[in-house]
Amino acid sequence: MDSQKSVSIELQNLQVDTLGTPQIASPLRNKNYYVENNARIVIDPDFSQVDKSKTFEIAGPRSEVFFDGAQITCGIVTCGGLCPGINNVIRTIVMTLREQYKVPKILGFRYGYQGLSNAPLAEPMELTPQKVENIHNHGGTILGSSRGKQDINEMIDVLIQKNVSILFVIGGDGTLNGAHEMVKEIKKRNLMISIIGIPKTIDNDIVGTSQTFGFSSAVNIAEKVISCAHYEALSAWNGIGLVKLMGRDSGFVAAHATLANNDVNYCFVPEDSLTLEGETGLLNVLEHRLEKKRHAVIVVAEGAGQNLFHTSATQRDASGNVLHKDIGVFLKDKINAHFSHKNIPITLKYIDPSYTIRSVKANSEDSTFCLMLGQNAVHAGMSGRTGIFIGYWNQTFTHVPFKVVINKRKKIDTKSALWKIFQETIGYNGRDNIVE
Ligand X SMILES: Nc1ncnc2c1ncn2[C@@H]1O[C@H](COP(=O)(O)OP(=O)(O)OP(=O)(O)O)[C@@H](O)[C@H]1O
Which residues contact ligand X by CB under 6 A?
79-81, 112-113, 147-150, 171-175, 177-178, 181, 201, 203, 319, 321
Annotated catalytic residue 263: no
Cβ burial of 48 (10 Å; 0-12, 13-18, 19+) is exposed
104 phi-psi bin (left φ>0, alpha ψ -120 to 50, beta other):
alpha
Closest approach, Cβ 360 to ligand F6P, in A, equals: 13
Strand partners, 76: 108, 168
Cα 87 from Cα 272, distance rounded (Å): 34
Residue 79: contacted member of ligand X, ligand F6P, Mg ion, none (CB under 5 to 8 Å, by partner type) = ligand X
Cα 248 from Cα 301, distance rounded (Å): 8
Residue 358: contacted member of ligand X, ligand F6P, Mg ion, none (CB under 5 to 8 Å, by partner type) = ligand F6P
- Going residue by residue from 173 to 202, which x/- string records binding to Mg ion, judged by CB under 5 A? xx----------------------------
CA angle 317, 157, 98 (to 5 degrees): 90
- Which of these is catalytic: 46, 68, 151, 203? 203
Nearer to ligand F6P, 69 or 305 (CB): 305
Of 108-116, 122-130, 164-172, 359-367: span binding Mg ion (CB under 5 A) = 164-172
Nearer to Mg ion, 112 or 174 (CB): 174
Rounded to the nearest 10°, the torsion over CA 170, 371, 184, 77 is: 30
Closest approach, Cβ 203 to ligand X, in A, equals: 6
Interactions with ligand F6P, residue window 192-231 (CB under 6 A): 201-203
3-class DSSP state for residue 213?
A: strand
Interactions with ligand F6P, residue window 344-373 (CB under 6 A): 358
Residue 411: contacted member of ligand F6P, ligand X, Mg ion, none (CB under 5 to 8 Å, by partner type) = none
How far is C-alpha 351 from the geometric centre of its chain's CA atoms?
21
Identify the CA nearest to 145 among candidates 214, 191, 210.
Answer: 214
Q: DSSP label at 402?
A: G
- Going residue by residue from 232 to 271, which x/- string records binding to ligand F6P, judged by CB under 6 A? --------------xxx-----------------------
β-pairing, 295-301 vs 239-245, is: parallel
Q: DSSP label at 427?
A: B
Nearer to ligand F6P, 214 or 401 (CB): 214
By the rule CB under 6 A, 387 interacts with ligand F6P: no
Nearer to ligand F6P, 96 or 201 (CB): 201
Closest approach, Cβ 390 to Mg ion, in A, equals: 17
Strand partners, 105: 73
Nearer to Mg ion, 172 or 427 (CB): 172
Cα 182 from Cα 151, distance rounded (Å): 10
Give, in order, the Cα–Cα distances in Å from 105 to each of 20, 97, 168, 377: 68, 9, 14, 17
Identify the CA nearest to 357 among candidates 236, 237, 257.
Answer: 257
Count of residues binding Mg ion (CB under 5 A)? 3
Closest approach, Cβ 202 to ligand X, in A, equals: 8
Interacting residues with Mg ion (CB under 5 A): 172-174
Active-site amino acid positions: 203
Interacting residues with ligand F6P (CB under 6 A): 80-81, 172, 201-203, 246-248, 302, 317, 358
